[in-house]
């Protein structure tokens, strides 16, 4: 069977991984992006991302996570790039918190190695976190920290070495269905392809074929706080963490830049944006003060004033799970978008699934929960 010519729209981590998987199978791939690989405008930026295996978002993700972990290592080996550092992961909350129950259920259903630390043990093992009475930690050893910008660049480099053509600084003006396939207009030229993969991240609603999809753009803000003792806050001693506390909720990352712990507040909200191009480049003073208060309360080893702030855009669906599958209402089109803040760690396997769908029309991975058609009634009434 003749290999199709495929256009991938968007080279964030999902588009880059899909391009890699398609190219390594011998497909002729063109990968378009408005910016350069690893840029800071979308969801594939910000120095660090969490990898977890005991998964509070649903134990049905665990087989996908295991496959993703193997593919991260394969990409590292292929490109000679360190991308995933396994430092363990903590979920910190009251013993009866839904996140604690969900992580434990995920670990127990799949017989994953994990450890539950009671209040005293948590304080002794990880004094970098201030633990209140009644709080516990669940330690997931199969967790770590990913480097997003190098990951995107590594995937595209591997794809180009396998024959793909990456086209940075090629904003897509139009993607239109034709009798034979699709036509992509970009940079004053048109490109005719047999199949198109839409991996636009938060730019989903900006493309005509995707405008009916229920993807909302939100701004995620990260803050970096200088560690007083950097050695105690490096990955060798500080796992990644997800903290749920009555006064604050955040993701916490160890020191990677030699200076600062990164915090992504959850309790302060992720405001919606009409257009990811309007993304503010920093946070307002009220947000910074609130983030500082959370750090002062719960992370005693850092200076509670951010030394750096970064804002990023992400696409969210109504149920916070991705849209991954054939694009409803169109032929020869696959969509991968709306990853809702937890797609990066799974990107290698999602890229593999995208390539499966393009080349075979199906995949051996269970993606039932991610079917874009699950919102068909919502789309019809919009």
The DSSP bridge pattern shows strands 240-245 and 248-253 to be antiparallel
The fraction of the chain above a pLDDT of 90, given in percent, is: 94
Residue 155, pLDDT above cutoff 80: yes
How far is the C-alpha of 12 from the C-alpha of 41, rounded, in Å?
10
Neighbours of 330 (CB within 10 A): 15
The per-residue pLDDT for 381 is 46
pTM (2 decimals)? 0.96
Ramachandran angles phi, psi of 182, nearest 5°: -140, 150
The per-residue pLDDT for 379 is 53
- Tens-place pLDDT, residues 67-112: 999 999 999 999 999 999 999 999 999 999 999 999 999 999 999 9
Helix axes 347-359, 148-161, angle to 10 degrees: 30
The per-residue pLDDT for 281 is 79
> For the domain bounded by 87-144+217-316, which CATH number is listed?
3.30.9.10
- Tens-place pLDDT, residues 285-313: 999 999 999 999 999 999 999 999 999 99
Torsion of CA 48, 10, 369, 378, to 10 degrees: 120
- Tens-place pLDDT, residues 136-153: 999 999 999 999 999 999
- Tens-place pLDDT, residues 124-140: 999 999 999 999 999 99
The per-residue pLDDT for 202 is 95
- Tens-place pLDDT, residues 355-375: 999 999 999 999 999 999 999
The per-residue pLDDT for 142 is 98
- Tens-place pLDDT, residues 7-34: 999 999 999 999 999 999 999 999 999 9
Torsion of CA 34, 40, 44, 48, to 10 degrees: 160
Residue 1, pLDDT above cutoff 80: no
Q: Write the burial class of residue 274 (CB in 10 Å: 0-12 exposed, 13-18 middle, 19+ buried).
A: exposed
Secondary structure of residue 193 in the 3-state scheme: strand
pLDDT band at residue 376 using 50, 70 and 90 as cut-offs? confident
Structural fold of domain 5-46+148-213+319-381: FAD/NAD(P)-binding domain (3.50.50)
> CA–CA distance from 267 to each of 49, 161, 242, 243, 273 (Å)?
19, 43, 12, 10, 18
Q: So where are the chain's domains?
A: 5-46+148-213+319-381, 87-144+217-316
- Tens-place pLDDT, residues 185-234: 999 999 999 999 999 999 999 999 999 999 999 999 999 999 999 999 99
Angle (nearest 5°) at CA 76 between 31 and 263: 85
The per-residue pLDDT for 382 is 46
Residue 380, pLDDT above cutoff 70: no
């Amino acid at each position: 069977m003749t290999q199709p010519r495929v256009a991938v729209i968007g080279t964030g981590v999902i588009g880059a991984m899909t391009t890699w998987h398609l190219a390594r199978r011998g497909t002729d791939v063109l990968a378009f992006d408005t910016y350069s690989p690893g840029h800071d405008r979308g969801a594939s930026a910000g120095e660090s991302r969490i990898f977890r295996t005991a998964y509070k978002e649903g134990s049905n993700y665990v087989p996908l996570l295991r496959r993703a972990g193997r593919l991260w290592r394969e990409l590292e080996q292929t490109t000679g790039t360190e991308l995933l550092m396994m430092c363990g992961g903590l979920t910190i909350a009251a013993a009866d918190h839904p996140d604690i129950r969900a992580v434990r259920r995920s670990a127990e259903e799949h017989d994953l190695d994990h450890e539950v630390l009671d209040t005293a043990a948590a304080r002794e093992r990880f004094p970098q976190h201030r633990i209140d009475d009644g709080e516990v930690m669940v330690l997931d050893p199969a967790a770590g920290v990913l480097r997003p910008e190098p990951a995107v660049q590594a995937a595209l480099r591997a794809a180009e070495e396998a024959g793909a053509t990456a086209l940075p600084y090629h904003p897509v003006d139009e993607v239109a269905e034709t009798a034979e396939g699709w036509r992509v207009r970009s940079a004053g030229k048109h490109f005719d392809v047999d199949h198109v993969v839409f991996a636009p991240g938060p730019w989903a609603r900006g493309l005509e074929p995707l405008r009916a999809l229920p993807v909302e753009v939100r701004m995620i803000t990260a803050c970096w706080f200088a560690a007083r003792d950097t050695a105690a806050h490096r990955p060798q001693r500080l796992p990644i963490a997800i903290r749920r506390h009555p006064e604050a909720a955040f993701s916490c990352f160890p020191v990677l830049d030699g200076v600062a712990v990164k915090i992504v507040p959850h309790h302060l909200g992720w405001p919606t944006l009409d257009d990811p191009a309007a993304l503010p480049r920093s946070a307002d003073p009220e947000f910074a003060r609130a983030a500082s208060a959370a750090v002062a309360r719960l992370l005693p080893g850092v200076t509670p004033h951010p030394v750096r702030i970064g804002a990023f855009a992400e696409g969210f669906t109504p149920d916070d799970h991705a849209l991954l599958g054939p694009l409803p209402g169109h032929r020869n089109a696959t969509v991968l978008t709306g990853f809702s803040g937890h797609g990066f760690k799974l990107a290698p396997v999602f890229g593999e699934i995208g390539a499966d769908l393009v080349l075979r029309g199906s995949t051996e991975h269970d993606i039932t929960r991610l079917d874009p058609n699950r919102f068909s009634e919502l789309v019809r009434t919009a």
